[in-house]
Structure 1
Amino acid sequence: MNRHDGKFLLLTPEYPPDKGGVAEYLYSLVQHFPGEVRIARGPFFWKWFWPQWLCGVFTAWRVVREARPHMVWISHILPMGYIALAIKCFTRTPYVVFTHGLDVCLPEESKWKRWWMRYILKHAVLIAANSEFTAGILHTHGVQEKRIHILYPGGQMFEDAAQSGRAPTPTLIEKLRGKKIILSVGRLISRKGQLRALAALALFLKDNQDVHYVIIGDGSEAEAITRLIKEKKIKSSVTLLRSVQNSELSLWYSVATLFLLPTVSHAPDVEGFGLVFVEAGLHGVPVIGGKGAGVDEVVRDGVNGLLIDGESEDTILGAVTRLLSDGSLRRRLGGQGRTRAQTVFNVKENVAQFADRIYTLLPPPPFHRSPEDAIRQALVSVIIPAYNHKKELLHTLDTLRAQTYGSLEIIVVDDGSKDDTQAALAEEHNKWQNRRSFKYIRTEHEGAPAARNAGIKNARGTLVIFWDADITAEPEMIEKMVYTLKENPSAAFVYSSFYFGWKKFMCGPFDAERLKQTNYITTTSLLRREFFPGFDQSLARFQDWDVWLTIAERGGTGVWIPEALFRVKPRGGAGMSVWLPSFVYDFSLLTNWKRVKDYQEARARVMTKHHLV
């Protein structure tokens, strides 16, 4: 798919005009991403109904049906991950999770939430981490490195203001002209450390009237900061601004002498990154940060700032006085900070790299064949096992007669049916034109795998497709599959998306590693006959998964057509007609249910056979 052609849906409760690092992070992503990104901000939660996030499923469902995105993005693992899972289950729309330190640490406090977090991450097509620190936590939850993309936040929204050189004009800034300004920006909570910084600097500010401390932010410690200013009698040396627009915030960065945020990180409350350090760097301001967690990635001690123990008031005071007294050190750290912010944390370049990866995960463009294309008429053997499905079988044969591909061999294998299937098919020979052939084979009742193997023994085609009696196909289905194999000569087979009743199975691009975890390829796929290993008749379930794994182990690959080319009609009895969402089989409380138990035992047999356990 070409860049700019993708359609994406971002489900998030935090986005401007909301304040905070997550909102700014997502805003910068959307502004620079090459493609259509629609924002859905809710409502995601009910106030009086449990589970509250169920509201978000209905909201997301309506938006997905309207927007028809290629991919869904979510900004919080919990609870937004529940919504993404539901949408994937019903629409097969893949999702990406954007994670940050606190987001992945909070579920650690609950075994239930930890299980769901891992399940949500397991089924995401990609996980974006805001730092190496966050990625490290994801590793501990079993997420493979290749499924993580580190997308650093960036302060690009301040870059123009930082480089414009405009003199600040607000009255308060004018009044502070000539003073050395210590600046703190962030939510007023214990982890950020503004209250500790104020306590450490109180006496110093009293004795140094040429220094002024500006604190910008709001939060639970706002009242305690206000009380401390009053108790220490330093009102003339400290300014607390609880609400500031981004344009004014940029002016405060531009006049700051140094930036101070003595963060501390104690799991699960951690500083996963620290966007404000990047913003300060863009303005050439040296920084002082509390070492630990994600801050260490942004602030390099002695390069663009100083890393300190954020819990030690003596260390805080020592770092501040050191920078205030050494102008050459400030200039060196500030200059290197600007360079680092404009390169390592350049949001435009980082988002471009992220976009490159996202577009590789999207399906290729839909099949298109110009009238000039001539399809080589290789014989395709269509093998249909049937057991007591006379009505469905006659309907699917009508579907096959409507196929635009001309060179077909139809082989119906009657697996010992007890209805009048044989009599019903007696007239079928007369309905097929000479360019097609029709065979009827009757066997003892041994099950679909044995019937399919019997069919292929009697097949003449170089290409084979296993068809079920309850399938209704698009007229161009086989032609599109043959054409796709022709265009991909190294591929062993081709498969497509499909519908089972109302539910769409997207399947997705071929991925051998993903195939080792779950079977996402339908039995109704077109194969080059030389690659087909035969169905293992000893397996009660997952025979098709066994086939695809065997082909992959022998070096074969598949190609996905991102169109729903056929529909399976639900019917009574075994098979897909009793399909359940995959998470049901992973739910530990249901392991004693016979269907779940049989599923897990059969899955274990296949995994053991292919050395996946």
Structure 2
Amino acid sequence: MIAIATQCLAPDVGGIETLLTGLADELAANGRAIEVFADRIHRDGADELVRSYPIHRFGLFRPTRRWLKRRAIAARGPTRFVGAFADSWKSVAAIPADLAPIAAFAHGNEIPQDARGGKAERVRTAFKRVATVIAISQFTAEAVRRIVGENGPRIVVVNPPLSRQATAGPAALSAIATRIAGRGPVLSTLSRLEPRKGVDMVIGALPQLRERFPRIVYLVAGAGDDLPRLRALAAERGVAGQVEFLGALPDDQAKAALFERSQVFAMPTRRVGASVEGFGIAYAEAAWRGVPSLAGSEGGASDAVIDGRTGLLCRGDDPQAVLAGLTTLLADESLRERLGGAARQRAREELTWERALPHYLAAIGL
């Protein structure tokens, strides 16, 4: 039996949620007995997952949730579990001290860039209990190594794999077509709406892009606190008619339709304070459908988008670099086809659970 202690799990939305839910599903599909100990569902109106394995949910404050999970795992007895996964260093505290080995994921934002200070010490303390840290990118692995030093736990890099991708049905395709309304080329972004994702930089490039591509349209899918600022920016730049804010997409078919109708996936991420992209699973999801990406060069996006092979990297904090990258991709159809084809091949051959799962199991000695 394998335990998974996680703050993040579907039906909540996000890259970590996708990864941990996929891990649980794939372990179960490959005959591994598992139990999941997760935080309460935060998404309003969302139903609990229906799975063959047990999922235990815990509410109240974070320290209380960790204590409740630890008590629940310990109540199963010291020999029930042969290993455990933690979605980050924070969830290591939810795993009893006598349960080993533990593998903890490292994503990016939760790892401090400065090896000094109280948070760095808490990370070091948590990772002392861990046999393996699974970093989602080389960037994240380097950040962990700065914190734990050469005598810390083993660090392996496993890029997040893609779970089975949905097919866009007629209703989803029709809904996207209505928003596009015959325009093109189509840019898209799918993310939480927060400054570091670079939606504002794409909006800022639209006035000049419109001069060359008069019918360009930019589809922005996702919800977040940055939405009012982004709407105001589109109006201020005179491109409100070119930007379609889709909100949070209702399901995976809607996501598939978004990608299938896009020429370029644009998410030129940048560092904002301590916040930085650790990988960016949306780049891989776009790649699976043959859509090349423009990504930011800061952080771990360079693991998700290989510059000049599956998309382009740019300085996400440089408006001219973002404009140049978008112009290059939009103006050259043969380049898009070459990059998109390579992106599709990599996503379908390299970023798979068949390749990743053995590495995850090895992280807990199986």
Q: Please classify the TM superposition score into its range, dividing by the shorter chain length.
A: 0.7 to 0.9
1:133 maps onto 2:139 in alignment:
yes
CA deviation string 1:282-323 (max 9, x = no partner):
010011111122111221211111111111112211221221
1:97 maps onto 2:107 in alignment:
no
CA contact (8 A) 2:314 2:322 kept: yes
Give the whole-Å Cα distance in 1 for the aligned partners of 2:39 and 2:194. 26
Letter in 2 for 1:224: R
Return the offset for 1:150.
1.9
Return the offset for 1:225.
0.8
1:62 maps onto 2:76 in alignment:
no
Return the offset for 1:46.
4.0
Q: Which residue of 2 aligns with 1:171?
A: 175
Give the whole-Å Cα distance in 1 for the aligned partners of 2:152 and 2:104. 15
Q: Structure 1 residues 239 and 309 mapped into 2: Cα distance closer, same or farther (>3 Å)?
A: same
Aligned partner (choices 262, 265, 271) of residue 259 of structure 1: 265
1:246 maps onto 2:256 in alignment:
no
Q: Which residue of 1 aligns with 2:23?
A: 29
Letter in 2 for 1:349: R
Superposition map of 1:23-422 within 5 A: 23-33=17-27, 34=30, 35-42=32-39, 46-47=60-61, 52-66=62-76, 68-78=80-90, 80-84=91-95, 87-88=96-97, 91-105=98-112, 108=114, 111-140=117-146, 141-142=148-149, 147-158=154-165, 161=167, 169-174=173-178, 176=180, 177=182, 179-205=184-210, 208-244=213-249, 245-265=251-271, 268-360=274-366
Return the offset for 1:102.
1.0
Return the offset for 1:57.
1.3
Aligned residue for 1:96, secondary structure, equals: strand
Give the whole-Å Cα distance in 1 for the aligned partners of 2:128 and 2:220. 41
Q: Structure 1 residues 70 and 143 mapped into 2: Cα distance closer, same or farther (>3 Å)?
A: farther
Give the whole-Å Cα distance in 2 for the aligned partners of 1:19 and 1:266. 22
Aligned partner (choices 6, 10, 15) of residue 9 of structure 2: 15
Give the whole-Å Cα distance in 2 for the aligned partners of 1:263 and 1:339. 24
Aligned residue for 1:104, secondary structure, equals: coil
Aligned residue for 1:284, secondary structure, equals: coil
Give the whole-Å Cα distance in 1 for the aligned partners of 2:140 and 2:310. 22
Give the whole-Å Cα distance in 2 for the aligned partners of 1:57 and 1:146. 24
Return the offset for 1:69.
2.3
CA contact (8 A) 2:185 2:217 kept: yes
Return the offset for 1:22.
0.5
CA deviation string 1:400-426 (max 9, x = no partner):
xxxxxxxxxxxxxxxxxxxxxxxxxxx
When Rg is computed on C-alpha atoms for both structures, the one with the higher figure is: 1
Q: Structure 1 residues 169 and 344 mapped into 2: Cα distance closer, same or farther (>3 Å)?
A: closer
Q: Structure 1 residues 175 and 200 mapped into 2: Cα distance closer, same or farther (>3 Å)?
A: closer
Give the whole-Å Cα distance in 1 for the aligned partners of 2:200 and 2:123. 33
Give the whole-Å Cα distance in 1 for the aligned partners of 2:133 and 2:304. 21
Return the offset for 1:45.
6.3
CA contact (8 A) 2:127 2:152 kept: no
Return the offset for 1:325.
1.4
Give the whole-Å Cα distance in 1 for the aligned partners of 2:322 and 2:104. 36
CA contact (8 A) 2:184 2:216 kept: yes
- Computed over aligned residues only, the root mean square deviation of the Cα atoms, in angstroms, reads 2.5
Give the whole-Å Cα distance in 1 for the aligned partners of 2:142 and 2:236. 43
Please report the TM-score for the alignment, with normalisation by the length of structure 1: 0.52
CA deviation string 1:370-401 (max 9, x = no partner):
xxxxxxxxxxxxxxxxxxxxxxxxxxxxxxxx
Which ranges of structure 2 fall in alignment gaps of 5 or more residues? 41-57
**Highest RCO, 1 vs 2 (Cα 8 Å, sep ≥ 6):** 2
Identity of aligned residues (%): 23
CA deviation string 1:523-564 (max 9, x = no partner):
xxxxxxxxxxxxxxxxxxxxxxxxxxxxxxxxxxxxxxxxxx
Letter in 1 for 2:333: G
Aligned residue for 2:110, secondary structure, equals: helix
